[in-house]
Amino acid sequence: MTARPSYPHDPDLHVPGTSAASGRCSHHEDHPDDGPCTGEAVVSFQDSAGRWQSGCTTALQELVERGEIEPLGQGA
Ligand SMILES: [Zn+2]
């Protein structure tokens, strides 16, 4: 599995009107069991289906540990 790039959270990457676009964590909406959600998006990334998702610090840590996304700041 190749880790996908991660980017500092950017509302412009997300569909207007979604949680992600308004600065909330969309990862935990889809994966509520992935630890406690801080609610505040710090990272933007594409999921395995190519959809833009946002993640809080907990989501970022979980996904990096699983090798799903790169640590923030190490992408292109
Ligand atoms: Zn979260």
Closest C-alpha to 14, from 40, 38, 44: 44
Task: Report how far ligand 1's centroid is from the alpha carbon of 33 (Å).
Answer: 10
Q: Using CA atoms, how far apart are residues 10 and 58, in angstroms rounded to an integer?
A: 18
State the pTM of this model: 0.90
Chain centre to alpha carbon of residue 16: 16
| Residue 75 belongs to some domain of the structure | no
Task: Report how far ligand 1's centroid is from the alpha carbon of 39 (Å).
Answer: 5
pLDDT in tens, 48-73: 999 999 999 999 999 999 999 999 97
| Residue 14 belongs to some domain of the structure | yes
| Residue 58 belongs to some domain of the structure | yes
State which residues form the domain around 11: 6-65
Task: Report how far ligand 1's centroid is from the alpha carbon of 64 (Å).
Answer: 14
| Residue 76 belongs to some domain of the structure | no
Q: Are the C-beta atoms of residues 75 and 61 closer than 8 Å to each other?
A: no
* Arithmetic mean of pLDDT over the chain: 94
Q: Are the C-beta atoms of residues 27 and 53 closer than 8 Å to each other?
A: yes
Q: Are the C-beta atoms of residues 38 and 5 closer than 8 Å to each other?
A: no
| Residue 70 belongs to some domain of the structure | no
Q: Given this model, what pLDDT does residue 73 score?
A: 72
Q: Name the domain count of the chain.
A: 1
